[in-house]
């Protein structure tokens, strides 16, 4: 009862209603987490709560991606209204950049638990390395302090990349300031050692003082290091939580923790007509790049900045970005800045039509030039036409001059168009954009799908409706989803597919730490019934079949935690199981040449494992659906089972752009009498223009055709000669942009005399 005595009636009611104290005391809840939509749901899981934040440790609940139990799986802001919804999938330590995690034990214990401080320790192993993580949260604090110690009880380990991660499940992500679009590599250009996940009504920032490398665009904040035999290494980090999409508290915490000299800035934000902006945002640039931002109230803003030179801009949702003001912040100074030139939003009604017949086209619209908002919740740079009002989009944009890229078919069948226009402040405009399709693969029985795509489970942030809108705009012929270890989006996507008259492939990405697998099509909504953190390879593949899968593909098989990489390292539980059907070319990860070489080797051995492809898209506003896809040839009516069986039979090719039409289908067999020859014709097509076509035989390049003038279509008539004794042939195409296509094989048999 002591928290009640200290808080008063309003806070006491908050305790009763929301399950969280509204005063500064900190406490632990044991059992299923009170954090809405949290993943810590087991009887011995632990949730720590104060008046600023709540976080949950999965003591018994499965961790995502096959990570050992005993880490943070839920984080949420806390306000007077109660605990907000969970905003992370995983926010904890990884010992070597998501390398497979051989693990034999996890122990979690409460070290201290009183109203002033909660301290929890989690201990796990990673091979011969002991990993101990301490989590502390003080009463009234907005930050979880996290300290991990690695102790090596085995041989020296070199070139490790270890550190804390922040994988949000919603909202937007602000990369390490100064690193721009860097996805993986050294962080020496970092202006601050932090990343933030956020939306308008919350923020979570990971401060990582040890940082010298990043991966996953900064979701993994790592240090490159060696861990000698008997050595211990400590990583300290801080997870700061806010109830607004405001980085002013983050800047203040950075100043305090690093003891930086600092000054204050304050001021007001008005429209050109003198009206105060209700929710202004002031962008802070340092050395020409975004350093952070300040969310204001009622036309005013205030924050601390480390001493130094900055340029500040003001804006708001839908409004123009005002002129920049240069300011030099001196230690102990207070600088007043006023912005008074913001212009109100404009509206644009866009219609996208087929130039040949006026038919409405599903389309993707992206801002190629014009105002692109640096803070995500102020407005996205990518839009899609509506699901039901096909071909129509109603956009709200800041006024100004724009270049909008309008595409339908993802650049595979139809050239995109760049349209330029001026939008007046407060105005309403209409525009019709006509596109002309050049190729129609479906007319020849070729149908395309993106077979690695996420919606809004785990770290993905795409609601099912927008997954469908994005895949339709890409010109894909089947809708597909493969959320991590989840089937919850099957039902809504099935309904959308039925509305639009498309087949739907319900999938799931089975996600142990040592390799990921897409299984499909599955029984609609059937839940996973194994623990991917402890299952063997055989059990993973067997579960995919139990779920109903006709096909199982090995995703990004050669990346750090890919199935084939882990098999080579001996870290696959139970050993390598060859029972997969397809190997993926993944648009988000390198490795196309390795995948092709592996498949060519399989075909030489007579094994029937074939190509598949997917983008691994998690956010359709950041990555384009279908930028790599698989085309399968289906005889007769298209349906889900026929498409997937065509993939398993090798009647397919994968492509980043070029289209292929063979005279004898990929996956079929050409039978020739001894000494006879045959001709295999393949038509190559490309909206961008073709650069090169190759014939592959038995894993070797047999013919290369350099295509002068970059034709949009070219026919290759390939002579197949039994004297050459190649067991199979395939083709590879490349367009003028370097985008390739790889086919499944045409097998060759020599008939008995």
| Same domain, yes or no: 56 and 125 | yes
| Same domain, yes or no: 101 and 206 | yes
Residue 295 above 50 pLDDT?
yes
C-alpha to C-alpha distance for 233 and 129, rounded to whole angstroms: 11
Q: How large a percentage of the chain has pLDDT more than 70? A: 97
| Same domain, yes or no: 518 and 626 | yes
| Same domain, yes or no: 83 and 174 | yes
The answer to whether 344 touches 399, Cβ cutoff 8 Å, is: yes
Structure tokens, 382? 């990518």
Residue 14 above 50 pLDDT?
no
Peptide bond between residue 491 and the one before it cis (omega within 30 degrees of 0): no
The answer to whether 433 touches 353, Cβ cutoff 8 Å, is: yes
Reference 210, options 137, 160, 173; nearest CA is: 160
What is the number of domains present in the chain? 5
Q: The domain spanning residue 311 has which CATH number?
A: 2.60.40.10
Residue 567 above 50 pLDDT?
yes
DSSP 22-51: SSS--EEEESS--STT-S--STT-EEEE-S
Q: What is the pLDDT of residues 225-261, one digit of tens each?
A: 999 999 999 999 999 999 999 999 999 999 999 999 9
| Same domain, yes or no: 352 and 338 | no
Q: What is the pLDDT of residues 357-396, one digit of tens each?
A: 999 999 999 999 999 999 999 999 999 999 999 999 999 9
Domain-terminating residue out of 210, 227, 243: 243
| Same domain, yes or no: 75 and 106 | yes
Structure tokens, 564? 């084939």
pLDDT score at 753: 63
Q: The domain spanning residue 393 has which CATH number?
A: 2.60.40.1120
Confidence of residue 23 (pLDDT cuts 50, 70, 90): low
Q: How large a percentage of the chain has pLDDT more than 90? A: 92
- Phi, psi at 550, each rounded to 5°: -80, -35
pLDDT score at 15: 44
517 has which bridge partners? 510, 554
- State which residues form the domain around 134: 2-243
Residue 633 above 90 pLDDT?
yes
DSSP state of 360: B
Q: Which residues contact 389 (CB under 8 A, 6 or more apart)?
A: none
Q: The domain spanning residue 606 has which CATH number?
A: 3.20.20.140
pTM: 0.94
How buried is residue 468: exposed, middle or buried, by Cβ count under 10 Å (0-12/13-18/19+)?
buried
| Same domain, yes or no: 404 and 549 | no
Residue 2 above 50 pLDDT?
no
The answer to whether 608 touches 637, Cβ cutoff 8 Å, is: no
| Same domain, yes or no: 388 and 508 | no
C-alpha to C-alpha distance for 348 and 534, rounded to whole angstroms: 52
pLDDT (mean) for 216-228? 97
pLDDT (mean) for 208-219? 97
pLDDT score at 724: 73
CA diameter of the chain: 97
pLDDT score at 100: 77
Structure tokens, 499? 């509305």
Domain-terminating residue out of 184, 211, 243: 243
Structure tokens, 718? 């390939």
Give the other-Cβ count within 10 Å of 498's Cβ: 11
The residue to which tokens 């059990």 are assigned: 539
Residue 190 above 70 pLDDT?
yes
C-alpha to C-alpha distance for 722 and 28, rounded to whole angstroms: 74
pLDDT score at 600: 98
Reference 744, options 732, 736, 753; nearest CA is: 732
| 176: Cα separation from own chain's centroid | 17
Residue 51 above 50 pLDDT?
yes
pLDDT (mean) for 631-647? 97
Residue 291 above 60 pLDDT?
yes
Q: What is the pLDDT of residues 69-124, one digit of tens each?
A: 999 999 999 999 999 999 999 999 999 998 878 899 999 999 999 999 999 999 99
DSSP state of 632: E
| Same domain, yes or no: 584 and 698 | no
| Same domain, yes or no: 276 and 317 | yes
Residue 347 above 70 pLDDT?
yes
Q: The domain spanning residue 30 has which CATH number?
A: 2.70.98
Average pLDDT, the chain: 95
pLDDT (mean) for 503-510? 98
pLDDT score at 722: 73
| Same domain, yes or no: 294 and 212 | no
| Same domain, yes or no: 374 and 228 | no
Q: For residue 472, what is the enclosing H or E element?
A: helix 464-473
Domain-terminating residue out of 309, 342, 375: 342
């Amino acid at each position: 009862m002591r928290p009640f005595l200290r808080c008063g009636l309003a806070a006491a009611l908050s305790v009763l209603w929301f399950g969280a104290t509204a005063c500064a005391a900190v406490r632990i809840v044991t059992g299923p987490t009170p954090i809405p939509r949290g993943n810590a749901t087991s009887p011995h899981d632990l949730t720590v709560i104060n008046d600023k934040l709540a976080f949950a440790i999965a003591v018994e609940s499965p961790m995502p991606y096959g990570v050992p139990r005993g880490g943070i799986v839920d984080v949420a802001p806390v306000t007077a209204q109660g605990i907000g919804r969970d905003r992370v999938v995983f926010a904890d330590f990884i010992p070597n950049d998501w390398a497979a995690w051989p693990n034999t034990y996890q122990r979690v214990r409460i070290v201290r638990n009183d109203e002033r401080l909660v301290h929890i320790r989690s201990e796990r192993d990673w091979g011969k390395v002991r990993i101990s993580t301490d989590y502390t949260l003080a009463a009234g604090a907005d930050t979880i302090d996290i300290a991990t110690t690695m102790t090596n009880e085995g041989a020296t380990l070199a070139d490790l990349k270890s550190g804390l991660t922040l994988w949000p499940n919603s909202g937007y992500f602000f990369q390490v300031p100064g690193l721009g679009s860097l996805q993986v590599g050294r962080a020496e250009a970092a202006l601050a050692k932090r990343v933030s996940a956020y939306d308008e009504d919350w923020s979570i920032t990971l401060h990582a003082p040890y940082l010298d490398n990043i991966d996953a665009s900064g979701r993994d904040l790592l240090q490159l290091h060696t861990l000698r035999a008997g050595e211990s290494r400590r990583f300290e980090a801080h997870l700061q939580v806010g109830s607004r999409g405001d980085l002013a508290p983050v800047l203040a915490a950075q100043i305090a923790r690093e003891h930086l000299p600092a000054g204050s800035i304050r001021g007001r934000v008005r429209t050109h007509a003198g009206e105060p902006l209700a929710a202004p945002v002031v962008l802070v640039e340092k050395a020409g790049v975004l350093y952070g931002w300040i969310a204001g109230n009622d036309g005013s803003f205030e924050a601390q900045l480390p001493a130094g030179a900055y340029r500040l801009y003001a804006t708001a949702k839908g409004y123009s970005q005002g002129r920049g003001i240069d300011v030099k912040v001196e230690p102990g100074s207070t600088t007043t800045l006023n912005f008074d030139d913001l212009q109100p939003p404009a509206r644009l009604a866009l219609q996208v039509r087929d130039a040949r017949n006026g038919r409405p086209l599903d389309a993707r619209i992206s801002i190629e030039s014009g105002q692109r908002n640096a803070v995500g919740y102020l407005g996205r740079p990518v839009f899609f036409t509506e699901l039901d009002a096909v071909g129509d989009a109603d956009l709200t944009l800041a006024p100004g001059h724009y270049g909008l890229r309008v595409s339908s078919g993802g650049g595979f069948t139809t050239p995109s168009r760049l349209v330029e226009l001026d939008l007046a402040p407060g105005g309403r405009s209409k525009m019709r954009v006509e596109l002309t399709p050049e190729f129609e693969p479906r007319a020849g029985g070729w149908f395309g799908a993106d077979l690695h795509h996420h919606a809004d489970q785990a770290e993905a942030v795409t609601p099912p409706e927008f997954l469908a809108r994005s895949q339709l705009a890409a010109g894909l012929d089947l809708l597909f989803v493969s959320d991590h270890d989840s089937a919850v989006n099957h039902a809504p996507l099935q309904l959308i597919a039925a509305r639009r008259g498309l087949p739907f492939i319900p999938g799931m990405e089975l996600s142990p730490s040592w390799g990921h697998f897409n299984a499909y099509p599955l029984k609609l909504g059937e839940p996973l019934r194994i623990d991917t953190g402890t299952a063997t390879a055989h059990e993973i593949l067997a579960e995919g079949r139990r779920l109903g899968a006709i096909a199982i593909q090995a995703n990004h098989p050669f990346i750090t935690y890919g199935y084939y990489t882990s098999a080579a390292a001996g870290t696959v539980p139970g050993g390598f199981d060859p029972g997969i059907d397809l190997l993926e070319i993944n648009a988000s990860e390198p490795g196309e040449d390795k995948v092709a070489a592996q498949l060519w080797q399989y075909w030489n051995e007579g094994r029937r494992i074939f190509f598949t492809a997917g983008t691994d898209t998690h956010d359709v506003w950041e990555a384009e659906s279908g930028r790599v896809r698989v085309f399968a040839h289906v005889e007769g009516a298209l349906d889900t089972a026929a498409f997937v069986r065509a993939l398993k039979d090798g009647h397919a090719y994968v492509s980043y752009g070029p289209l292929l039409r063979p005279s004898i289908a990929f996956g079929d067999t050409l039978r020739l009498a001894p000494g006879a020859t045959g001709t295999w014709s393949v038509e190559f097509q490309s909206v961008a223009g073709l650069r090169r076509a190759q014939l592959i035989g038995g894993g070797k390049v047999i013919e290369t055709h350099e295509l002068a003038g970059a034709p949009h279509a070219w026919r290759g008539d390939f002579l197949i000669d039994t004297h050459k004794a190649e067991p199979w042939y395939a083709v590879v195409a490349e367009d003028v942009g370097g985008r390739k296509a790889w086919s499944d094989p045409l097998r060759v048999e020599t008939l008995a005399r």
